[in-house]
Amino acid sequence: KEEKESLWEAFSGVFALLLVLMLIIVVITIYYNVLRYSYKRDFEKKDYNGKIYMLFIRILRHLKKEGFVMSPDETVLMLADRVKEHFRFEGVSFLEVAEIYMRYRYAEEAVTQEDYKMVAAFRTGLANKYRSENSKLTVWLEELIFLSRRKSLQ
C-alpha cells in the first residue's frame, strides 16, 4: 500500500511538472504572437521612411550575428566598407542599403518605393541566410528577444 502511494505521489508530481511546463510554453507562445502582431501592425502603419528605419535595425542585428558589429565611434559607411560584398541579395549590397538609410536619416530625403524594395530584399535575404544556418528554436528565441526589446530600440 505504501509503495502504491509513493508511486502515485511521484506520478502526480511528474504530471504537475509537465502541466506547468506546458502552461509556460503556451503563455510564451501567446506572448510571442501578440508581440509579432503588434510589430507587424506598427510596421504596416509606417510610411516608407519608417519602414526603412525598422528594417535597418533588423539588418544591423543580423550583421551583428554574422560578426559585423558597429562600434560606437563607427559610421554606417565605415561599417558598409567593412561588410563590402560579403552579402549581396537580389543584386543589393549592404553599401546600397546604407546609402538609402543615410539619405533618409541624415539628408531627410523621402524614401521611394524602389528604395524600400531594395532594403526589404536585402533584409529578407540576410534573414533567410541566418535561418538556414541556425535551428528553428534559436531563430524563434532570438526573434522573441528582439520583439520584446524593440520598444527600447526605437
Q: What is the pTM of this model?
A: 0.81
* Whether residue 126 has pLDDT greater than 70: yes
Q: What is the DSSP letter of 91?
A: T
Count of CB atoms situated within 10 Å of the CB of 111: 20
**Tell me, what's the pLDDT at 56?**
94
For residue 34, which amino acid is it?
A: V
**Tell me, what's the pLDDT at 34?**
93
Q: How confident is the model at residue 7 (pLDDT cuts 50, 70, 90)?
A: confident
**Tell me, what's the pLDDT at 1?**
62
- In terms of residues, how long is the chain? 154
Strands 92-93 and 88-89, sheet pairing: antiparallel
Q: How confident is the model at residue 96 (pLDDT cuts 50, 70, 90)?
A: very high
Burial 6-18 (b: 16+ CB within 10 A, else e): eeeeeeeeeeeee
Q: Which residues does residue 31 pair with via DSSP β-bridges, in sequence order? A: none
Give the cell for residue 74. 563607427
Reported as a single tens digit per residue, the pLDDT across 11-44 is 888 889 999 999 999 999 999 999 999 999 999 9
